[in-house]
Amino acid sequence: MSKLHEAYRLFDDYNRKDPNVFIWDGNSYPRELFFAIKLHEWVLKLSPQAGEALLLASKCQHIGRWEIPRDSYPGGRDSYLKWRRDLAAFHAEKATEILEQVGYDEETISRVRRIVLKQKIKVEPEVQTIENALCLVFLEFQYEEFYTRYPAEKVVNILKKSLLKMDGHGHEFALALSFSEEGLSHIREALKLIAEK
């Protein structure tokens, strides 16, 4: 087995331990396993010639996410941002452990870490691709349920922040997804606000 596919196997085995369940099309999946698979698929759609570091990062971007739950931190935006930073560092460390176990060299591991930590977004194409893919996974699999739980103004503001992280290539794929009429109207409103800036 190649190092790449051995790493895939170990990443998937780790995420298969997620006790949280995600249901899609009537089937139940360990949550982070499902999203890692879909993130990988989106990276391949966005960048068919993706390099090895990007492919590896797509499989371990949120590895073990359930191990540091949001409710283990206090409420409030500052605590939320600290939680996100701590999670990213955890994902990078867990990915490093597995990649070292498989036998990857320091340069490849360093590149995977930079992508997982999303360093130099808007500058590094691989980091931008992973950000596009993350947003597209949210839009395809979580958005329609998500927007029904919040006022329209809050939804548009959250979408605006997410879409700002994407580039034009990502926006093209986003608008090609199937949305409800209301869901699409929020996305168009967010894109309109971005264009007006």
**Residues 160-181 pLDDT 10s:** 999 999 999 999 999 899 999 9
Evaluate if residue 3 carries a pLDDT over 80.
yes
**Residues 33-43 pLDDT 10s:** 999 999 999 99
Cα(39)–Cα(51) distance, integer angstroms: 15
Torsional class of 166: left (φ above 0), alpha (ψ -120 to 50), beta (otherwise): beta
Torsional class of 150: left (φ above 0), alpha (ψ -120 to 50), beta (otherwise): beta
Domain segments of the chain: what residues? 3-125, 142-197
Q: What's the pLDDT score for residue 121? A: 83
Residues paired with residue 28 on neighbouring β-strands, in sequence order? 23
Q: pTM of this prediction?
A: 0.94
